[in-house]
Structure 1
């Protein structure tokens, strides 16, 4: 069956997205003029659409205006982590601040609940749930006119514990932002991004919860910028990455390497990619340097691995 999804109500980049209980959820993002940051140019909207019978984008309770945040799901609840807020109005000098805010949205109750804050403000990071553990990696801290400081820590919280507590993981062997994460083969994959030193990269690092160790994974295929603002997810037993060049790459565990398996309908960065069943991917939001933001939603049919 061919699925068709309506356009987004507005084009957004650098937003959070996740799948939960048969629906896709999006939160926040940059919706203002390109390359400008101001309060009204950041979304505070939580949106939802059914995956199997897409109708309209439903608007749910709002929250703070944020971009550069992460959104994950676990046990019929959504978790919003970090991001940055513009304190300036349009036309004023940038006054950008990363936040420590974390919140949980209970689908049954239909409302947001504050969670313990991050140890330090963090944005341009990513997060993923592996098993019952919520992992947060990468990013930096924006503090108004001060020079940005890159995050050197990674965090984890046990979502089954009676008390929500952030703990530090063993120190990651990287400092990167604008990166992507995915849960695959029982491990945390940290893919691409912009380095503190060295520019964009297709590097991949892997954290094994069983051994509590980091290792180096296979770098993405192609140029270094393939990893900048990329999106990743696992579906149908395979790990996929959508790159700024519009390449859909798949990792082969047998050869420990990536290969491009499709040219996607659109080339995007700062977008999100979500699984639909075991054989489709939903590509949402993001932008292209030549054409601007995308409102159209692409559905990608996957060939057997």
Structure 2
């Protein structure tokens, strides 16, 4: 077994950069191939200023802007140490509930200083749908047309290492958070769990970073040799390119994160995870010689030179073998839906 303090102490820091304005930030994000940190990026947000006075003031600020609707909230196991994960039977170790935000915050008021209380976590709440006006007063001007702004609110929590398809700019608005990031190619060394039973929609590392088991997860040390880590205060931000793995901890009694997700590819291309899931269903368990053939076909049609694969077909007859448009992507989607519903 390892020790959490030893682990984070020996991981090098995430690169920190300074940006003069939104244009420079957007240029850096566009060109970045690895995560970077910008200290004080959102220090002037009214929400951040309220949080620096106290967690209660930050909650009051949010309550004044919240819609009067039920909010989804995860209630964890008090014995979990804030780790939103699985129990020993591979069931989720937290329950999902709904409540009005004043009631959730009243509970946080009561347990904020109680380290043994069940963790409470509101994850990936759509800012513009649940908090009218909050985005306008507290946002980063992104140089992209379409993005999702989400807010994450909770007590001390630990979220296992996972990745997301979109690019991610995460801004700490209250409390303190630690991010530990890994390159995309470290998936095997992180020992991923199920893809269809996950704490938050993405497969997560089964390694407990606070007590790593070197006998069960011997390659985790190799992952750590590629890792970077950073602790962020209110006002700081980290950018993570899509598919980078990240382990996230809310270190303060009360924490708020606002993040932005976006892709640089057209939305009609769909989610690559859906293709992987379908391939596991239809290809993974085939005989080895058939799998080898399908691997070759994927290389030919998907990973190889797409133009060469269709060069012998008249340009106006290539259909979905031509560069995709929203129309041809829609035809593929409709075809797949019909096939999967048979």
Taking structure 1 as the reference length, what is the TM-score of the superposition? 0.25
Structure in which a larger fraction of residues adopt strand: 1
More helix per residue: 1 or 2?
Answer: 2
TM-score calculated relative to the size of structure 2 = 0.23
For the pair shown, the structure with the greater C-alpha radius of gyration is 2
- Considering Cα pairs closer than 8 Å and 6+ residues apart, tell me whether 1 or 2 has the greater RCO: 2
